[in-house]
Amino acid sequence: MADSSSIILRGVFKEYRRDEFVIPVLSDLDLSVAEGEFLALMGPSGSGKTTLLNLVAGLDRATKGEVIVHDQDLGHLSEADITRWRANNVGFIFQTYNLIPVLTAFENVELPLLLTRLSRRKRRENVMTALRIVGLSGREHHYPRQLSGGQEQRVSIARAIVTDPYLLVADEPTGDLDRTTAGEILELLEQLNREFQKTIVMVTHDPLAAARASRTLHLDKGRLVDDVTQETRVSAAS
């Protein structure tokens, strides 16, 4: 793992307003994620996990503080610029896959590339490479309804990596899967982290899923309350 930080949050606050009410979600949060790290975020519902994930991915903006991802201060980008930044730098993996049912696996994976200037031939090469990496070679013409839940999530992961982003954000990626299939998806995420040096930030409620990450952070009421690494878990178990 490189020494440089891929993600830096300094003094981050996030609040939402509903009429005259102010709802605090994150409070004076500092965080550093190394380049190539696999980070798991855990905590009770309402603790701010998904909000933190959305800030890191450029889907939301901090009320106060700095969010710097790969040397880019996201708070200084216009809406148009941050949209382009997300398209080029972030891959999204969702609990419910978010596949379009009338499109084949190939067409679902190709969607992010349609926003680029790549030729049709190059788009096809990239899509087939992504499907091969996730173990779905030969399934490119199948529709989501013809795939298992695990295969649908693999299509979702292929779509996330097809633009070769340096950051993957995963929101409960195994939440709808049985234990065996969830294990296969987590192994795939580990492979992307280990072999392709992808920085991964994953929100999960599952301790077994979090155990696959190199580090686990726990949030409670918008604050980080502890920090567990793989080394700490191994020491505690031995």
What is the per-residue pLDDT across 100-123, written as a single tens digit (0 to 9) for each? 999 999 999 999 999 889 999 999
Q: At what angle do helices 149-161 and 120-133 cross, to 10 degrees?
A: 130
pLDDT of residue 238: 47
Q: Where are the domains of the chain?
A: 36-53+81-237
Contact 102, 93 (CB under 8 A): no
Class (C level, CATH) for 36-53+81-237: alpha beta
1 has pLDDT over 60: no
pLDDT of residue 3: 44
pLDDT of residue 178: 96
pLDDT of residue 19: 87
Report the side by side order of strands in the sheet with 21-34: 21-34, 5-18, 64-69, 72-73
- 230 band by pLDDT with thresholds 50, 70 and 90: low
- 2 band by pLDDT with thresholds 50, 70 and 90: very low
Cα–Cα distance, 151 to 135 (Å, whole number): 9
As a whole number, the mean pLDDT across the chain is 93
pLDDT of residue 20: 85
The two tokens of residue 143 are: 């529709």
Is pLDDT larger for residue 232 or for residue 165? 165
Average of per-residue pLDDT across 224-236: 66
What is the per-residue pLDDT across 68-90, written as a single tens digit (0 to 9) for each? 999 999 999 999 999 999 999 99
What's 2-35 look like in SS3?
Answer: CCCEEEEEEEEEEEEEECCEEEEEEEEEEEEEEC
Q: At what angle do helices 179-195 and 149-161 cross, to 10 degrees?
A: 20
- 232 band by pLDDT with thresholds 50, 70 and 90: low
pLDDT of residue 234: 55
231 has pLDDT over 70: no
What is the per-residue pLDDT across 162-188, written as a single tens digit (0 to 9) for each? 999 999 999 999 999 999 999 999 999
Which residues on neighbouring strands pair with residue 15, listed in sequence order? 24
What is the per-residue pLDDT across 37-55, written as a single tens digit (0 to 9) for each? 999 999 999 999 999 999 9
